[in-house]
Chain A
Amino acid sequence: MATTTTPNATDWPGRYYHIDQILEKAGPRTDPEWVPGDKAKEWLREGVKVLVIGAGGLGCEILSNLALTGFKDIHVIDMDTIDISNLNRQFLFRQKDVGKSKALVAAEFIMNRVPGVKVTPYHGKIQDKDEDYYMQFTLIICGLDSVEARRWINATLVNMVDPENPQSLKPLIDGGTEGFKGQARVILPTITSCYECSLDMLNKQTQFPICTIANTPRLPEHCIEWASVLEWPRVFPDKKVDNDDPDHIDWLYKQALNRAQEFKIEGVTWSLTQGVVKNIIPAIASTNAIISAACCNEAFKIATNSAAFLNNYFMFIGTDGVYSYTFEHERRPECPVCGGEALDLTISPELTLQELIDLLIERQDIQIKKPSLSTPTKQLYLQAPPQLEEATRPNLEKKVSELVPPNGDVTVTASTLPFSLSLRIAYT
């Protein structure tokens, strides 16, 4: 599949009639230093290497836009396989492709449809790759639905920046959608606000208190959570729920329905059960098209300098008319990835270490799922390895004030995140 392509071998006269109008002449807002013409075209078509992370709803669109725009060396990473529910928007896939690798099918489709474009797929996780791998790209476009993966790539690219080496700064363009809404942004690691800086803009996922689920359900969602969180592990202690297995969902649905009837709660349906268990976010082709186009347009502007690129956030809402908001998201000085300053946290001297951990998980601007905590002199609590977890577990019951002096520093890490968070603890 990955044959080497001689540049221009497949270019026919007039192929870039449309794009070349932009590259042959400056616009009124173009940087006056910019030189239009062949150099700009050559760089776009032969010099630039782009990485696309995600070959799903956004990824399919991003790949086709990049290919038509004239980017010819494109890499794509995705660990997922194609599901039937992808076909209402992921337009490079067909019924016959269900079960195959998204990255591989997408790459092959693009190379067939747009001659002369080389797409190199990788079916796997972004965490499989190291800094050397990411260093080879001119820019990176992210079309992911996972917050965790975005935090990882964002932190990796910020860490990679070496002030001595301008090539080490890789522009990151990130897109995301939900229903008729979406956003596209440009991140220049260490220069503009990063993904971590804006963590508090994410919608908070609804978490139902366990006592409500166990004892006083009111909503159909409470019954579904009961079925998946409490009933499944009780009946199948050795088996995890597979969200993609319709038989599993069916079982959960029936349990939830029984419980709902017992409590006279209405509204448990198959579709709601699946939605709650898989945390499904509605997705349509048109919104993905808008956000991917915005991302690729920025990639084009960054790669060619033919117009200034977005500084730095574009938000689109199509539910009530056409509304968008373009603004500069500010850096957060206490951002654990690009900020460098410790986060000041004032807590009650009565607060236990376990309660502090719960607080960190809860906080919208931190959202660390399984944090390990230490001070410069001792380990407070470690999630792994098991021996250390056991050794530090008694600390969970202790008051933080017994473990950390006033204005003491605490470092928070998590295995899923390639960075640490510095806290400075004060007491009320």
Chain B
Amino acid sequence: MSAGNESQTIESATTTIESAPDQKTRRYDRQLRLWAKSGQAALESAHILVLSSSSTSASILKNLVLPGIGQFTILDRTITEPKDAGNNFFLEGQKSIGKPRAEEATRLLLELNDGVQGHAVVNKDVQEVLASADGAEWLKGFTLIIAHNVEKGALEKLSDLLWADIKSPPLVVIRSAGFLAEIFIQFHEHAVIDSHIDTSPSLRIDKPFPALLKHATSLDLENMDVTDHGHVPYVYILVRVLEEWKASHGGNLPRTTDERKAFKTIIGKMRKKSDEENFEEAEGQAYKCWSSTVVPGDIKSLFTADATASPPHTKPFHYLLKALEIFTTTVEPHTLPLSATLPDMKADTKQYVGIQRLYKDRASEEKGIFKDILAKVLKDQGEDSSLIDDETIDAFVKNAHILKLLKGKKWGWIDADKGALSEHAQISSKQLGIHLALSSLSSLQFKHIQSQSQSEFAPTLEELTAAAQAILPEGVELQDGDLNNAVGELARAPTADLPNTAALLGGVVAQEVIKMITKQYVPVEGYCTIDLVETWTGVL
């Protein structure tokens, strides 16, 4: 290691001393460990709209108010009935009966967190809001909209409105009755830099950068002190053995089982003592030499993503991708930028800090090259260089191996796609059964409302089955019993918002909303169906 590097290490290690965390950090400690300050800031600047103050809606809100969502608005003109007071924890029993349900729920939800603002709009419903141009604009102004058991007519209009404008917020649609439920997120595009996917970046052992190669090959292992020998990081050992291997095997990596065995034997023979853990680790990690480091397929496929029809909020991500593509095609050795984070390995302090420094220096060099490329991309696109801040670039480079770009679909797409219906009838018949049953229930409910009947909505098993089957293409059937099991549960409890189902949906939906807003972790793609008779979830 050069003297220059030594002094750098000392400088960077001299950090300021933090004082004990403040009240707010202490309150949010257990979640900050999941989504950090950046995620928390995103949550705190969000304003979500919730259509209805049902037990399910209140449960969702509870799980968003607690972690500190900025604001919420409930749009619901329902007056609390005795049945509402029985299943909703955010109503005060009989005391709430006769009062606007959204106002009661808002008041009680706000008790959970002083840092949150809540509003109840109780003088109109979503149909009325949709009917005016102002209303439509108002809806589009939210960060995200949640719709639980919104009647079919209004839901379709809302979905159409939001889908027609690429700048619209995501729409989370939840339908539930009794033990069954379904969740779908309608969005155009969703980009995730910090997906938290548990995959390690490449250490580039097969394509070592000059400083790594130089250090690994210049180590005098034979004359090394026995203690030091037992603390040489496995990365150096592998780089060294692999270089020699390539030199004697026409530049190829160990390919066959015999070759790989031979490769490990070479490592084993390098031991000075039988109990050297670093050599044991090197043998264990030898698989890292079996394949060459390339741009992972998942990331490469993002380079072909169509950026022309992207919403404004994912534009920066597409520019970053463009820069990444140029980086991987023009900069040797045609891989993703090197990651500065090194896993722990058997080593003494000096050797570990040393190899850490080698990786950090190289990573920062490559990040510099990436930044130059990005600056040029932005300039070519006529964008200001301030569009993407350094923090975002750092995060992008750090997570370059686990980036995610989700292309969303419109609510209801599956019902219009005969191919998808036929395929799912084969491969995910139970899940499709739940989706069809809930679709049929909402169609019948819509008819019931339109008929202005005064009677209680009580669809028969036959009506539900017929409406469900009508969605399926001709000749397509679900596997034995799957449709009946789902439809039968809905005939049993067509209007039941069960406390446990509501609570479970409250959790699953809040997780998804947090993922959408923080742009961390990966939201669900497709229809997430839930069966609480057999206790499973499945995605269509």
Query: A residues engaging B (CB < 8 A)?
Result: 10, 12-19, 21-22, 25-29, 61, 64-65, 68-69, 84-85, 87-89, 91, 94-95, 113-115, 179-180, 184, 215-219, 246, 249-250, 253-254, 257, 260-261, 263-266, 269-271, 274-275, 280-294, 296-298, 300, 307-308, 310, 314, 316, 318-324, 326
A17 touches B82 (CB 8 A): yes
- Chain B nearest CB, measured from A36 CB (Å): 9
In the complex, the answer to whether A84 meets B503 with C-beta atoms within 8 Å is no
A88 with B30: CB separation less than 8 A: yes
Contacts of A275 in B (CB 8 A): 33
Q: Which of B502, B510, B528 contacts A322 (CB 8 A)?
A: B528
- Tell me the complex Cα distance, A231–B224, Å: 33
Asked whether, in the complex, the Cβ of B508 is within 8 Å of the Cβ of A318, the reply is: yes
A308 touches B33 (CB 8 A): no
Given contacts A28-B484, A85-B30, contact A250 B532 (CB under 8 A): no
Q: Is B62 a contact partner of A91 (Cβ separation < 8 A)? A: yes
Cβ of B499 and Cβ of A88 under 8 Å apart? no
Answer whether A264 and B492 are a contact pair too, CB < 8 Å, given A28-B484, A319-B196.
no
B496 touches A21 (CB 8 A): yes
Residues of chain B lying within 8 A (CB to CB) of residue A289: 59, 62-63, 503-504, 506-507, 510
Give bound CA distance, A307 to B510, whole Å: 27
8 contacts between A and B (CB under 8 A): A17-B82, A28-B481, A180-B511, A271-B25, A282-B34, A297-B504, A321-B523, A322-B537
Chain B residues whose CB sits within 8 angstroms of the CB of A291 once the complex forms: 507
Chain B residue, CB-CB nearest to A19 = B498
Q: Which residues of the other chain, A, contact B525 by a CB distance below 8 angstroms? A: 321
> In the bound complex, do residue B20 and residue A18 qualify as a contact, i.e. CB atoms below 8 Å apart?
no
Q: A14-B86, A296-B500 are in contact. Are A319 and B231 (CB under 8 A)?
A: no
Q: How far is the CA of A89 from the CA of B489 in the complex (A)?
A: 32
Q: In the bound complex, do residue A61 and residue B503 qualify as a contact, i.e. CB atoms below 8 Å apart?
A: yes
Contacts of B93 in A (CB 8 A): 10, 113-115
Cβ A88 vs Cβ B10 within 8 A: no
Cβ contact within 8 Å between B344 and A219: yes
Most chain A CB within 10 A, of B504, B507, B514, B515, is at B507
Q: Which of B360-406 contact A (CB under 8 A)?
A: none
Output the nearest chain B residue to A114 by Cβ-Cβ distance: B93
B535 located at the interface, meaning its Cβ lies under 8 Å from any Cβ of chain A in the complex: yes
**B314, CB-defined interface residue at 8 Å:** no
* Residues of A with C-beta under 8 A to B501: 293, 297
Which B residues are in CB contact (< 8 Å) with A283? 30-31
Are B536 and A218 in contact, with the CB atoms below 8 A?
no
Q: Which residue of B lies closest to A254 (CB)?
A: B17
CA distance A254 to B19 in the complex (A): 10
Smallest CB gap from B90: residue in A: A113
Whether the Cβ atoms of A307 and B86 lie closer than 8 Å is: no
A137 to chain B, nearest CB (A): 19
Of residues A88, A266, A275, which shows the largest number of chain B Cβ atoms within 10 Å of its Cβ? A88
Instruction: Provide the bound-state CA to CA distance between A270 and B93, in Å.
Output: 44
CB of A218 within 8 A of CB of B12, answer: no
Q: How far is the CB of A6 from chain B (nearest CB, A)?
A: 16
- Please name the residue on chain B nearest to A275 by beta carbon: B33
Q: How far is the CA of A283 from the CA of B66 in the complex (A)?
A: 12
Q: Is the CB of A87 within 8 A of B29?
A: no
Write the B467-510 contact mask toward A (1 if CB under 8 angstroms, else 0): 00000000000000100110011001111111111111011101
B117 at the interface (CB under 8 A from A): no
Q: Which B residues between 53 and 87 are near A, CB-CB below 8 angstroms?
A: 55, 59, 62-63, 66-68, 81-83, 85-87
B358 within 8 A of A: no
A68 to B87, CA, bound (A): 6
With a 10 A CB-CB cut-off, give which of A27, A264, A310 has the most chain B CB atoms.
Answer: A264
- In the bound complex, residues from chain A placing their C-beta under 8 Å from that of B94 are 12, 115
A265: B residues at CB distance < 8 A: 13, 349, 353
- Give CA–CA (A289, B23) in the complex, Å: 25
State the CA gap A314–B533 with chains docked (Å): 12
Beyond known contacts A27-B492, A88-B66, A296-B500: 7 more, CB 8 A cutoff: A22-B498, A27-B533, A28-B484, A68-B89, A218-B352, A314-B536, A326-B536
Question: Shortest 8 CB-CB distances between A and B: which pairs?
Answer: A289-B507, A28-B488, A14-B82, A290-B507, A17-B83, A293-B504, A68-B499, A293-B503
Residues of A within 8 A of B262 (CB): none
Contact A22 B493 (CB under 8 A): yes
B169 within 8 Å of A (CB atoms): no
B41 within 8 A of A: no
Please, which residues of chain B bring their CB within 8 A of the CB of A216? Answer: 231, 347-349
Q: If A17-B82, A22-B498, A250-B20 touch, does A286 touch B511 (CB 8 Å cutoff)?
A: yes
Instruction: Give the residues in chain B near A253, CB-CB below 8 Å.
Output: 18
A260 touches B26 (CB 8 A): no
Q: How far is the CA of A8 from the CA of B231 in the complex (A)?
A: 72
Within 8 Å of chain A (Cβ to Cβ): is B407? no
Q: How far is the CB of A34 from chain B (nearest CB, A)?
A: 12
* Nearest A-chain residue to B195, judged by Cβ: A320
Residues of B within 8 Å of A287, CB to CB, are 507, 511
B415 within 8 A of A: no
Q: How many residues of B contact A (CB 8 A)?
A: 99
Complex interface residues of chain B between 505 and 540 (CB less than 8 A to chain A):
506-508, 510-512, 514-515, 521-525, 528, 532-539
Among candidates A61, A94, A217, A264, residue contacting B13 with C-beta atoms closer than 8 Å: A264
The CA of A69 and the CA of B503, in the complex, are separated in Å by 11
Q: How far is the CA of A286 from the CA of B508 in the complex (A)?
A: 7
Contact status of A321 and B539, CB under 8 A, knowing A21-B493, A270-B21, A286-B63: yes
Q: Across the interface, which residues of A come within 8 angstroms of B219, CB to CB?
A: none
Q: In this complex, what residue of A is CB-closest to B532?
A: A297
B20 pairs with A113, CB closer than 8 A: no
Determine if B32 is an interface residue (Cβ-Cβ < 8 Å). Answer: yes
Cα distance A68–B92 when bound, in Å? 12
A287 vs B63: C-alpha distance when bound (angstroms)? 9
Is B28 in the interface zone, CB < 8 Å from A?
yes
Question: B27: CB under 8 A from chain A?
Answer: yes
A179-B86 contact given A28-B484, A293-B504, CB 8 Å threshold: no
**A residues less than 8 Å from B347 (CB atoms):** 216, 218
Q: Which of A65, A84, A284 contacts B499 (CB 8 A)?
A: A65
Partner of A25 from B492, B495, B522 at Cβ < 8 Å? B492
Q: A286–B493 contact, CB under 8 A?
A: no
> Contacting A266 at CB < 8 Å: which of B12, B83, B349, B492?
B12
A297–B537 Cα distance when bound, in Å, is 14
Contact of B17 with A65 in the complex, beta carbons under 8 Å: no
Compute how far the CA of A64 lies from the CA of B502 in the bound complex, rounded to whole angstroms.
12
B179: contacting residue among A27, A180, A219, A284, CB under 8 A: A27
What's the minimum C-beta distance from A262 to chain B, rounded to whole angstroms?
Answer: 9
A5 to B211 CA separation, bound complex (whole angstroms): 77
- B449 interface contact, C-beta 8 A: no
Quick check: is B9 within 8 A (CB to CB) of the other chain?
yes
Which residue in chain B gives the minimum CB-CB distance to A217?
B349
| B31 x A69 contact (CB < 8 A) | no
| A179, B34: Cβ atoms closer than 8 Å | yes
Q: Which residue of A lies closest to B512 (CB)?
A: A322
Tell me, rounded to whole Å, the shortest Cβ–Cβ distance linking A48 to chain B: 15
Nearest neighbor of B25 in chain A, beta-carbon distance:
A271
Residues from chain B with Cβ under 8 Å of A260 in the complex: 13
- Asked if B332 is at the interface of the complex by the 8 Å CB criterion, the answer is no
Q: Is the CB of B492 within 8 A of A21?
A: yes
Q: In the bound complex, do residue B14 and residue A261 qualify as a contact, i.e. CB atoms below 8 Å apart?
A: yes
B156: interface (CB < 8 Å): no
Partner of B522, one of A10, A69, A84, A321: A321
CB-based contact B522/A319 at 8 Å: yes
Cross-chain contact A15 with B506 (CB below 8 angstroms): no
**B27, B81, B88, B352: the one within 8 Å of A84 (CB):** B27
Q: Would you give the shortest CB distance from B293 to chain A, in whole angstroms?
A: 23
Interface check B466, CB cutoff 8 A: no
Contacts of B533 in A (CB 8 A): 27, 29, 307-308
Q: List A contacts of B349 (CB < 8 A).
A: 216-218, 263-265
Residues on the B chain within 8 Å of A282, using CB: 30-31, 33-34
B499 neighbours in A (Cβ, 8 Å): 18-19, 65, 68-69, 296
